[in-house]
């Protein structure tokens, strides 16, 4: 699963990477986050009226069958094998803006170490996501979920799932509002695989990230002696 992530790059880098304008947002106070946690509002990008639009949605998709439930992740095999989220996949695709995510690696029966995972070089990237207006009246904003897939060779020793990270070309396809629904469904599903491990890196961070109330640079700082792992 993916239960925490960061988005701390500059406003200019985000606007350039996602071809979106963030005018009207206070980047430092409302968008820059070192420790995004479920139920919090976070930056997503959707396609509306032939333009990409930045939005603040709440993390935890409200499913059609239960408005009190929040789904922070949806498995790619669920999208392939079941029709439960088919409408979201056809009409409610978004990308979740990020530049790193956290997973907890089992070190022993009594210890798990938080690991920070990112693209090599720390560039911003897009998680594949689904969103819905359901529950907006109850929770104050539309909701979203991050799609997960099987892990690559870098993430595999840490966790048995990883979020779907879209390449720039895949991002264009994922946000395309003119796809021919069922005809293009297979093409959308083909994007939901693990990102190449050779383009990613990971290192251990402090347990300060364990609490969602902590949201500062120390969340992504490597612990003393920790070195980035590359494949």
pTM for this prediction:
0.94
* Tokens encoding 121: 């070089």
Q: What is the pLDDT of residues 53-80, one digit of tens each?
A: 999 999 999 988 888 889 999 999 999 8
219 is catalytic: no
What is the Cα–Cα distance from 120 to 224, expressed in whole angstroms? 20
pLDDT tens digits, one per residue of 73-128: 999 999 988 888 888 888 899 999 999 999 999 998 889 999 999 999 999 999 99
Q: Give how far Cα 131 sits from Cα of 63, 138, 228, Å.
A: 10, 15, 33
pLDDT in tens, 145-202: 999 999 999 999 999 999 999 999 999 999 988 876 666 788 899 999 999 999 999 9
Q: Known catalytic residue: 204?
A: no
CA distance 221 to 201: 14
Domain 5-230, CATH class in plain words: alpha beta
Euclidean distance between CA atoms 129 and 47, whole angstroms: 13
Q: Catalytic one among 2, 41, 94, 204?
A: 2
d(CA 125, CA 80): 24
Angle of CA points 95, 97, 118, to nearest 5°: 115
Residue tagged active-site, from 41, 103, 201, 204: 103
Tell me what pLDDT residue 29 has.
73
Q: How far is CA 143 from CA 64, 83, 126, 139, in A?
A: 12, 19, 17, 8
Average pLDDT over the chain reads 91
What are the residue ranges of helices labelled H in the chain? 11-18, 76-81, 86-91, 136-139, 168-175, 181-189
Task: Retrieve residue 28's tokens.
Answer: 């430092």
């Amino acid at each position: 699963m993916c239960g925490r992530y960061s988005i701390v790059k500059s406003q200019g880098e985000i606007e350039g990477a996602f071809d979106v304008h963030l005018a009207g947002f206070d980047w430092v106070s409302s968008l820059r986050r070192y420790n995004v946690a479920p139920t919090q509002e976070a930056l997503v990008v959707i396609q509306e009226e032939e333009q990409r639009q930045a939005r603040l949605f709440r993390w935890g998709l409200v499913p059609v069958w239960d408005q009190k439930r929040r789904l922070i992740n949806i498995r790619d095999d669920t999208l392939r094998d079941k029709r439960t989220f088919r409408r979201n996949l056809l009409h409610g695709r978004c990308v979740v803006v990020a530049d790193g995510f956290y997973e907890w690696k089992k070190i022993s029966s009594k210890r798990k170490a938080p690991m920070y995972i990112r693209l090599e070089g720390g560039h911003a990237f897009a998680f594949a996501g689904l969103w819905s207006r359901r529950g907006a009246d109850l929770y104050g904003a539309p909701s979203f979920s991050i799609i997960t897939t099987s892990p690559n060779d870098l993430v595999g020793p840490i966790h048995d799932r990883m979020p779907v990270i879209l390449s720039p070309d895949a991002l264009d396809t994922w946000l395309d509002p003119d796809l021919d629904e069922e005809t293009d469904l297979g093409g959308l599903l083909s994007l939901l695989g693990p990102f190449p491990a050779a383009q990613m890196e990971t290192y251990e961070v402090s347990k300060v990230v364990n609490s969602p109330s902590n949201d500062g640079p120390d969340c992504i700082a490597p612990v003393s002696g920790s070195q980035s792992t590359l494949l």
